[in-house]
Chains A and B, each alone.
Chain A
Amino acid sequence: MELTFYFAAAVATLATIMTITRYNIIHALLYLVVSFLAVAVVFFTLGAPFMAALEVIIYAGAIVVLIIFVIMMLNLTHEDVDKEKEWLTPKVWVGPAILSLVLLAELAYIILAPDTQPTEALVAVDARLVGMSLYGPYMLGVQLCGILLMAGIVGAYHLGRQKKKVVHRFLQPKEERSAAI
């Protein structure tokens, strides 16, 4: 299992780097999907099969699809790719990269420091355990998420609502039609 973990982690890292450096947005999103799938494998090897499945279903299967859906409507062309190329100069990314490197060094230190090694063995967390903790200690969080999502749905419905349009003159009520003529 150890080897699969490192392989999946390497794939995830590589795919994420490719995501950031692609100029074509759809290609970048495809690498993002690969990255999510790799992270799902990482979850699986760490003993969380339920989280792995959810990662694929929700992130790779729904959220990225929706992002691609929006990108498709933007009708991006080669000019946009060239423009993206112009924007991504070293001047832009060197600053954030240095800051992230500092964070990476910190993370590496925390992981490698001897006193922070996890002592207990890995425990497989299946769907039942996830459900027990969601509806046990984290009940309030679940409720709050539910309220937030409900607000989102109501808002989306309000924004998307439109007056019913008549698409054909024969479907109009009779008076309107004669008035239009």
Chain B
Amino acid sequence: METAAPNYLLIIGGVLFVMLNVAAALIWVERRMLALWQDRYGPNRAGPFGLLIVAADSIKLFFKQDWVPPFSDKPVFVLAPAIVVVSVLLSFVVIPFAPGIIVADLNIGLLFFLAMSSMGAYSIILGGWASNNKYSLLGAMRGAAQMISYEVFMGLALMGVVLMAGSFNLREIVEAQRGLWFFIPQILGFVIFFIAGIAETHRLPFDIPEAESELIAGFHSEYSGMKFGMFFIGEYMGITLISCMLVTLYFGGWLGPDFLPPIVWFIIKVVAFLMIFILLRASMPRPRYDQLMEFGWKILLPLTLVNLMITAAVVLWLEG
């Protein structure tokens, strides 16, 4: 943990700067890619390729009236959007972007990630509850149930990786993937973690807490201006975080052939996963709420346990 290198502050600032900008840029990327896959143009007026749409959007969000509903629970209402951004940003602390580029090389890095992602559930629940609105409350309840259930499989699916690497430290997990990336032996764990990750960030197809068509934006229907913007940014940073975790845990992190520097490999892999997230949104219908829960508890949970048992048995067999 004593990695107080001279460029320590530089790393922290760099990670913060890059992550916040990635979240903003993703808005444009997502809209353009969705348009491409759905055979239309997407935003193409403001600036070259519509790039300035991000600036226009953020200016609009900043200048909108920041309305706090009089019937809401004000302190909780204001607190909720901050929680999601803080918890996601804190999770980036443990991600090893390249050798040496990591904010805190924690021994319990993976658990720290799980802890922070479970804190993220509060923003949905509190936001929905504090809005004091039936639709928001429904969204919040769905969100709470969904995130708690999927956290279980998420944690259990990750334990396969922990067993193989023998450590909770993300840097050591990446180092352990020299030779063979974990997505081959842990293919089941990878698929389950990916599905749980989508549910955890409540992205389409699992965006049931906000489901526009039934719940008119669910837990954030009362939010406006930059408070809504925080939920929005939190969601995009959430998918970046899950992509980073997928790359770190299953796709060898910064590892790759020598002709490119490690950080470039990391970025390439993360961008590939971000594209998959967007493609999923473009192509998948939303399941019903009870179908989602049933799928989780009746299919994913037994599969994760089987995966864990097989991994443990194989690791023991190889060792002894």
Residues of A whose CB lies within 8 Å of any CB of B are 24, 26-27, 30, 33, 49-50, 52-54, 56-57, 60-62, 65-66, 68-69, 72-73, 126-127
A26 near B168 with CB under 8 A, answer no
- Complex-state Cα separation, A57 to B79, whole angstroms: 20
B211 contacts the other chain (Cβ, under 8 Å)?
no
Residues of chain B at interface, number, CB under 8 A: 29
Can you name 17 A-B residue pairings with CB atoms under 8 Å? A30-B79, A49-B106, A49-B107, A50-B108, A53-B108, A53-B111, A56-B119, A57-B155, A60-B119, A61-B121, A62-B151, A65-B121, A65-B148, A68-B126, A72-B129, A126-B107, A127-B107
- Complex-state Cα separation, A53 to B168, whole angstroms: 11
The stretch among B136-144, B221-229, B239-247 that forms the contact with chain A is: B136-144
A65 contacts across to B, CB distance below 8 A: 118, 121-122, 125, 144, 147-148
B125 near A72 with CB under 8 A, answer yes
Q: Among the listed A30, A57, A72, A127, which residue makes an inter-chain contact with B137, where contact means beta carbons less than 8 Å apart?
A: A72
Q: Among the listed A26, A50, A69, which residue makes an inter-chain contact with B111, where contact means beta carbons less than 8 Å apart?
A: A50
Assuming the contacts A53-B111, A53-B112, A65-B148, asked whether A60 and B118 have C-beta atoms less than 8 A apart, the reply is: yes
B112 contacts across to A, CB distance below 8 A: 53
B151 near A61 with CB under 8 A, answer yes
A73 contacts across to B, CB distance below 8 A: 141
B108 contacts across to A, CB distance below 8 A: 49-50, 52-53, 126-127
Residues of B whose CB lies within 8 Å of any CB of A are 73, 75-76, 79, 106-108, 111-112, 114-115, 118-119, 121-122, 125-126, 128-129, 137, 140-141, 144-145, 147-148, 151, 155, 168
A27 contacts across to B, CB distance below 8 A: 75-76
B121 to chain A minimum Cβ distance, whole angstroms, is 5
Assuming the contacts A72-B137, A73-B141, asked whether A62 and B129 have C-beta atoms less than 8 A apart, the reply is: no
Q: Among the listed A30, A61, A66, A127, which residue makes an inter-chain contact with B168, where contact means beta carbons less than 8 Å apart?
A: A127
| Smallest Cβ-Cβ distance to B130: which chain A residue | A26
B147 contacts across to A, CB distance below 8 A: 65
A53 contacts across to B, CB distance below 8 A: 108, 111-112, 114-115
- Complex-state Cα separation, A33 to B80, whole angstroms: 14
List the 9 closest pairs (A to B, CB-CB), nearest first: A61-B118, A53-B111, A56-B115, A49-B108, A57-B115, A69-B144, A53-B108, A72-B129, A57-B114
Interface centre among A27, A52, A73, A127 (most CB of B within 10 A): A127
